[in-house]
Amino acid sequence: MDELYGIIPVSKFSNAKTRLSPFLELEEREQLLKAMLKDVTNALKEVVDEVVIISADMEVLEYSKKLGVSTLVENPGLNLNTAIAQAMDWCRDKTNKVIIIPSDIPLISKTNLQGLINSAKAFDCIIAPSKGGGTNGLAIKPLAIDMKFGEFSFENHIKEAEKKGFQPLVYDSFYMSLDVNTTEDLGEIMIHGSGTETRRYLNSLNINVESIHGAERLKVTKG
C-alpha cells in the first residue's frame, strides 16, 4: 500500500473564525472558510492519492463533495483529535501513511507539500509547526500516535511521537505555518497569497493592507 491519503478535519462553517468577528460578518467568515478549504483541498489533490474531509457539519460535507474529495460523517460526540482518529481508522486499510492538514492554511502549495512528502519517505513522523505553536502538518502511519491538536500541539506532538519511539522530523515552512486567525493573518494572505481562492475572496471584500511600525506589522482594513 504505497498510496498516500490526506485528511482535513473541518468544523462547522457557522463556527468559523470567531476571533475575526469584529472585522468580518458571519457570512463573510463562512465564505472565507470555504475559500481556504478549497485552496487546501486543491493543493492536497495534486500530491496525494486521496483527500478525505471529515466533519459533523452536513453543509461542510456537501460543499466538500463539490470539491471532488471523499467525505466522512464525524461520529457523534467526538472532538478534533478523536475525529482525526476516526478518519485515520477509515484510512488504515488503504494506506501506510496519512498527512493531516488543517483547513485554514491557504498559502499551502504543491511545492510545500511535496517537500513534506519527500521527507516522509525517509522518516516515520514529520511535523510542520504553525507560527503560534500549533501543528499545521503531520505525516504519520495511521493511528501510530495519539493526536494532540489544541494549544501548543506542536510540542505535544513531538513528545507523543518520542514516547511512541519515533524520532520526529520538523518540517519548517513559512507558507504552511500561516493559519488564519487574526486580521494581520488576512494581511499576510493579501501579500503572499497570489493565485489563491482566499485572496480572490478577500479582494472581493475590498480588504486592504499596509505596513506599519508599531505593535503590529500590518494594518488591515476593509472597504
Spatial contact of 7 and 100, defined as CB atoms under 8 Å apart: yes
Residue 141 within a domain: yes
CATH value at residue 115: 3.90.550.10
The 10s digit of each residue's pLDDT in 156-192 is 999 999 999 999 999 999 999 999 999 999 999 999 9
Burial class (CB in 10 A: 0-12, 13-18, 19+), 177: buried
Position 115 in a domain: yes
Would you place residue 208 in the very low, low, confident or very high pLDDT band (cuts 50, 70, 90)?
very high
> Residue 214: inside a domain, yes or no?
no
3 vs 54 pLDDT, higher one: 54
Grid cell of 70 as nine digits: 471523499
The beta strand positions in 17-161, using DSSP E, are 50-55, 70-73, 97-100, 125-129, 135-140
Number of domains the chain contains: 1
Is residue 121 included in any domain, yes or no? yes
| Contacts for 72 with CB less than 8 Å, ≥ 6 apart | 52, 53, 54, 55, 86, 87, 90
Assess whether pLDDT exceeds 70 at residue 1. Answer: no
Give, in degrees to the nearest 5, the angle at Cα 79 between 9 and 161.
75
Burial class (CB in 10 A: 0-12, 13-18, 19+), 62: exposed
Residue 58 lies in a domain: yes
Residue 95, pLDDT > 90, answer: yes
pLDDT of res. 14: 85
Domain that holds residue 111: 4-178
The overall pTM is greater than 0.75: yes
